[in-house]
Amino acid sequence: MTDISEFMSQDHDRLDAIFANFRKNSAGGQAKQLFSQFESGLRAHIAWEEEILFPPFEERIGMRDSGPTAVMRVEHRRIKELLRSIRDGIDGGRQVFLRVPETGRLQPITIKDRTGVDASANDLKDVLQAHNHKEAQILYLWLERTLADGERSALLGRIQSLPGMREN
């Protein structure tokens, strides 16, 4: 397969299905497992883009610090922040320190906030929808139209040879 758009879009669909399943079961016993599967898959997908697909695009258009891939990198950072927020909520919350008035000492407490997980999941869904559309309409389409078959095959071969690919 040398169709980058098809390959990456299929991976978006696979990740969307896992994420939808997580959202339906986010309070259940499968939440950690489903989210871990989604998170590792999405982090691998982001790495494929940033390490394998972005460089030829940036090289040919002469833009790295500005342009579409710069925007996509900012979005990737936002996606990772939301993943971290969801992970913190699933793993039992975040630990913070409060000063005990009577003693003046700092006391660790864990904040568990289901609404925080749900809000972050909703935000992530919105960010991913817009982001995935942008990738499909700009990056993947450009790669399909501009690169020769051999170049596309080589890029997909690199992605498919990565250890994370076999786990997804």
> Cβ(147)–Cβ(56) under 8 Å?
yes
Q: What single-letter DSSP state applies at residue 100?
A: -
Tally of structural domains, the chain: 1
pLDDT at 134: 92
* pTM of the full structure: 0.81
The reported pLDDT for the residue numbered 105 is 80
pLDDT the model gives residue 41: 96
pLDDT per position as a tens digit, 98-143: 677 788 887 665 555 556 788 889 999 999 999 999 999 999 999 9
Range of the structural domain that residue 132 is part of: 4-167
Looking at residue 133, its pLDDT comes to: 94
How high is the pLDDT of residue 66?
82
Question: Can you give the pLDDT at residue 112?
Answer: 53
DSSP 29-87: TTHHHHHHHHHHHHHHHHHHIIIIIHHHHHHHHT-SSSSHHHHHHHHHHHHHHHHHHHH
Low-confidence residues of the chain: pLDDT under 70: 1-2, 93-98, 107-115, 163-168
